[in-house]
Structure 1
Amino acid sequence: MEKLFQQKTKELLKDQAYRKIKEKMIKGEEEFTSENNLVLELNMSRTPIREALNRLQHEGFLKILPNRGIVFTELSSEERNELIDMRIAIETYSLWQAATRIKDTDIEELYHIIDMQEKAYLSGDFGDLVEKDALFHYYLLEIVGNTQFIKMYSQARERQFTVRAGKWLKNKPDVLQHFIEEHRTILNAIVQKDISSAVQYLTEHLEKGKL
């Protein structure tokens, strides 16, 4: 029993380290770091941090350079554009499917998410704003409930948000506000049952992420 508890604790710490390091990268705080810095910043032991770093390196989020530190990797323009094309295919198809399933409670929740985005924007909380932006898209996919689409979306979106993307967005508050307005435009079209326009607005919204 004690052995099982220790194993679960180990996995929990590893997952926490993974999430915290990825969040640090997405926020665009820095392009370089080290294992020692992460131990101090995250106030965690070296083992879960090292395991999380190995996982992130395997997934392509960073490179561990022996005796030199850790570099958060960037996407090429081609990779970024391919991810956005995949998101457009998944999200627009799901939006057509959601048209016959969306409920009043879903509409209310989506407006609430937009309100939370606005609040995060006004308070200057960039991390929360990015999180709520993702939640809007995620919720639309959840209405249909295709677990593979949700998984692919989550992986693609996380991969889009590299250090460079985080820094660029932080310095473009007008762009961030425009994204919120575009979410509202998409949702208003859904409410009016004009799904073809909603799909068009969603496509245009996602296309703006291309380089």
Structure 2
Amino acid sequence: MIQDKRKVLLKDIAYEKIKEKMMKGEEGYTSENTLVQELEMSRTPIREALNRLQHEGFLRIMPNRGIVFTDLTVEERNELIEMRAAIETYSLKLAVHQLHDRHIDELKSIISMQEEAYRKNDFYELLEKDSMFHHYLLEIVGNRQFIKMYRQARDRQFTVRSGKWLRNKPDILEIFIEEHRNILNAIIDKDADRAVLLLEEHLNKGKL
């Protein structure tokens, strides 16, 4: 039983590290041998993680040729953003009237962490905290299906191409933080209509 749990844990760690590599790296490809060396892990969890990522559409395993990270088409990316806008804005309408001081404090803390990551030029951490802001807004309402759909859409948006696009536009990243602050201010004012409008405009900036 312990051994089985360890195998699952290693596979999950490999899965997350490979996804992180996709976002941090400039290259659109890798190999199993390279991953074994870079991640300092055995082949089994890496291979299982790669199979999962291929099934989810993040990459293609090409025998004797390596591993290619796949990009979204413009249409696929825009569809994901539209789906996110639908569930996030609906949830936000409900969340505005369910907020307590602890929720406000947590959202402020997340924005502060985003600002710190921006100052450090830590692109991956900045995206993680951006995701945390949106995720937390959904958690306030607690619709598990919305949260699941959000996680799937958000993960799928994170490709090498989207990473390069954002990394080359530091002004956009700073604007995103400011937009989170504006959304939070509307929430504090309990102005649901303004908060929803700001959130929808914010998400639509991700369309290519």
The secondary structure found in structure 2 opposite 1:101 is coil
Shift of 1:156: 0.1
Match of 1:15 in 2: 12
Report the aligned-residue RMSD: 0.7
- Indicate if the aligned counterparts of 1:28 and 1:164 stay in contact, CA closer than 8 A: no
Tell me the alpha carbon deviations over residues 115-134 of structure 1, each in whole angstroms, 9 at most, x when there is no partner.
Answer: 11000000111111000000
Does 1:209 pair with 2:206?
yes
Match of 1:115 in 2: 112
Aligned residues: 208
> What is the TM-score when the length of structure 2 is the normalising length?
0.98
- Indicate if the aligned counterparts of 1:91 and 1:141 stay in contact, CA closer than 8 A: yes
Match of 2:23 in 1: 26
Match of 2:171 in 1: 174
Match of 1:68 in 2: 65
Give the aligned residue type for 1:121.
Y
Tell me the alpha carbon deviations over residues 125-172 of structure 1, each in whole angstroms, 9 at most, x when there is no partner.
Answer: 111100000000000000000011001001101101100011111111
Could you list the structure 1 runs, at least 4 aligned residues long, displaced by more than 4 angstroms after superposition.
Answer: none
Does 1:99 pair with 2:80?
no
Tell me the alpha carbon deviations over residues 170-202 of structure 1, each in whole angstroms, 9 at most, x when there is no partner.
Answer: 111111000000000100011111110010000
Inter-partner Cα distance in structure 2 for 1:30 and 1:116 = 28
Q: Which moved more, 1:33-42 or 1:184-193?
A: 184-193
The secondary structure found in structure 1 opposite 2:67 is strand
Q: Percent identity?
A: 71
- Indicate if the aligned counterparts of 2:97 and 2:190 stay in contact, CA closer than 8 A: no
Tell me the alpha carbon deviations over residues 90-135 of structure 1, each in whole angstroms, 9 at most, x when there is no partner.
Answer: 0000001112211111011101100110000001111110000000
Inter-partner Cα distance in structure 1 for 2:37 and 2:13 = 15
Shift of 1:7: 1.0
Match of 1:158 in 2: 155
Give the aligned residue type for 2:29.
F
Shift of 1:29: 3.4
> What is the TM-score when the length of structure 1 is the normalising length?
0.97
The secondary structure found in structure 1 opposite 2:50 is helix
Shift of 1:28: 3.8
1:88 paired residue among 52, 67, 85 = 85
Inter-partner Cα distance in structure 2 for 1:153 and 1:28 = 24
Inter-partner Cα distance in structure 2 for 1:193 and 1:15 = 39
Inter-partner Cα distance in structure 1 for 2:188 and 2:71 = 38
Tell me the alpha carbon deviations over residues 71-98 of structure 1, each in whole angstroms, 9 at most, x when there is no partner.
Answer: 0000011111110000000000000111
Inter-partner Cα distance in structure 1 for 2:55 and 2:110 = 33
The gaps in structure 1 that reach 5 residues or longer are: none
